[in-house]
Amino acid sequence: MSAFLAIVGRDLRLGFGAQGALLTTLLFFVLAVSLFPLGVGPEPQILARISAGVIWVAALLAALLSLDRLFQGDQEDGTLDLLAQAPLPLGLAALAKVLAHWLTTGLPLSLMAPLLALLLQMDSEAIPVLLLALLLGTPSLSLIGAIGAALTLGAKRGAVLVPLLTLPLLIPVLIFGVGAVEAAAYGLSASPHLLLLGAFFAGSLALSPFAIAGAIKLALE
Amino acid sequence: MFHALANPARFLRLMAAIRPWAAGVAVLGLLSGLGWGLLYSPPDYQQGETVRIMYIHVPSAWMAMFIYAVMAGASGVTLIWRHPVAELAAKASAPVGAAFTIICLVTGSLWGKPMWGTWWVWDARLTSMLILFFLYLGYIALWEAFDDPARAGRAAAILALVGAINLPIIKFSVDWWNTLHQPASVLTLEGPKIHPDILWPLILTALGAKGYYVWLLTLRVRAEILSRQARILRFAAATDRRAG
C-alpha cells in the first residue's frame, strides 16, 4: 500500500509541477469548449441543446491529450524497469499511475465543467448531474486510455496512435455521460445512465490493469 | 494437432491443401448466390429491385463481425500459448475484415438513399459498424507502428482482446442510443422471417464469402511467413557480409 501511495504521490508532484500537464490540459478544455459558441453561433437554445455533448467531447479529448506521456517518460529514464521489478504487482503500480493521471486531469476537468456549463446555458437542474457523470466517467477515460498509452510505448507516431486506439473504445462513456445530463435536462431520471457509467468504470477498473501490465511488460522486453 | 500447427512448414502444407477447396467454395457460392440473388430472385413487394443490394450487404456485415471474432480468438491463442501462426492469422485477417466492413457500409448507404432518403443516418447499426471499422484501422495501425514484428504482434493481440470485450458494450450502448435499422430477420427464435427465394441466395453468398475469406487467409498467411523468412535471410546475409 505504501508503495502504491508513493507512486501516486510522485506522479502527483510531477503532475502539479512546472513540467506537469495539468494547466495545459485545463486550458485546452476551456479553449475547446469556448470555440463552440464561436463556431455554431451564440443562440442560447442551440448552446443549451449541445452543451452536454460539447463538454463531454472536450473532456474526452483533453483527457487523451496528456496520455501518451503517461508511461513514456518513465520508460525513457528507466523508472518503468524498476517498477516492473518491484514487489508491488505491475498492474497495481500501473493503477497508481492511472489514479495520479485522473487526479491531475479527470478530477480538475470535472470540477471545471459546471462553470463551462453555465457559460453554455445548460439547464441548472442538469449541472449537478454533469458533475456526477464526469466524476464517474473520467476514471474510465484514464483506465482505458492507459491501455492505449502502454500499448504504444516505443511506437512510431505514438502520440497520434493513442487517440486512434482508445477513442472507439470510449464511445459508451460518451453516450451514457451525455445521456445522463440530457435525461436530467428533460426532467427524467438520470440514474440508469449513471449506473451504467459506474458499471463501465467498475469493469474497466477490474480488467484494464491486466492489459496495462501486459502491455508494459512487452515494452520492457 | 494444435501445437503441430505452430510449425510454419507444416502449416504451409495444410494451407496449400485447404486452398483449392476454399477457392472452390468461394467461386461456386459467390457465383450461384449472386447470380440467383441478382438475376432470378423476386423483387421485394415494398423495396422493389433495391432489395438485391442486400445479397452483398448482409454477407459483408456477417463477415465483418465473424472476422473480428476470428481475430480476437487468434489473438487470445497468441497471448496464451505464444502460438506464432495464430498471430500471423490475426494479422492477415485484419485488412480483409476492414474491407468487408467498408463494403457493408458503402452498400448500406447505397441502399439507404432510395429507401430512407439519405446516404447516412446515425442509426445504431450503422454507427456500430463504423466503430468496428475504426477498431480494425486501429489494429492495423498498431501493427505498422513497430519495427519489431514480435512486439507489434503481441501489442496488437492485447488490443484485439480489449476491443473484443468492449465491442458488445459499444453495440449495446449504441443500440440504446438510437435505432432505425430493421431488427434481425434471419437468425430469430421463430426461424427465418424471410421468404426462401430470398433466403437461399443469401445463404449461398454468405458461404461463398466465407470461402473467399479462407482462401485469402491461406494466401496472406503464406505471404507473411515467406516475407519473414526473407527478412531473416536478409539479416543473415548482411551479417555474413560484415563478418567476411
Please check whether residue A214 touches B, CB under 8 A. yes
Decide if A152 touches B, using CB distance below 8 A. Answer: yes
Closest CA to A106 of A21, A5, A199: A21
Q: What is the mean pLDDT of residues A154-179?
A: 88
Q: What are phi and psi of B170, to 5 degrees?
A: -60, -45
Distance CA B140, CA B138 (A): 5
Please say if the pLDDT value at position B172 is more than 90: no
Instruction: Tell me if chain B has a CB within 8 Å of the CB of A53.
Output: no
Helix (H), strand (E) counts: chain B: 6, 0
| Residue written as grid cell 512448414 | B9
3-state secondary structure of B44: strand
Summarised one tens digit per residue, pLDDT across range A78-118 is: 888 888 888 889 999 999 999 999 999 999 999 999 999 99
Q: Are B160 and B90 in contact (CB under 8 A)?
A: yes
Q: List the grid coordinates of B103.
A: 463494403
**CB neighbours (10 Å) of residue A22?**
16
Residue owning grid cell 505498422: B144
Q: Could you report the per-residue pLDDT of A36-87, keeping only the tens digit for each?
A: 999 988 888 899 889 999 999 999 999 888 887 888 888 888 888 888 888 8
Average pLDDT over residues B81-101: 91
On average, the pLDDT of chain B sits at: 84
Return the domain boundaries, chain B. 55-180+197-238
pLDDT at B175: 75
pLDDT at B215 (0 to 100): 92
- This prediction has a pTM of 0.87
Judge: A172–B161 Cβ closer than 8 Å, yes or no: no
Top residue of B79, B146, B162, B179 to mutate, by most chain A CBs within 10 Å, is B162
Select the residue of B131, B142, B173 nearest A151 (Cβ to Cβ): B142
Tell me the chain A residues in contact with residue B134 when contact means C-beta distances shorter than 8 Å: 164, 167-168
Q: Which candidate from B155, B161, B173 shows the least CB-CB separation from A171?
A: B173
Residue type, B77: V
Instruction: Among A152, A208, A214, select the one facing B145 at the smallest CB separation.
Output: A152
Nearest CB to A155: which of B79, B137, B145? B145
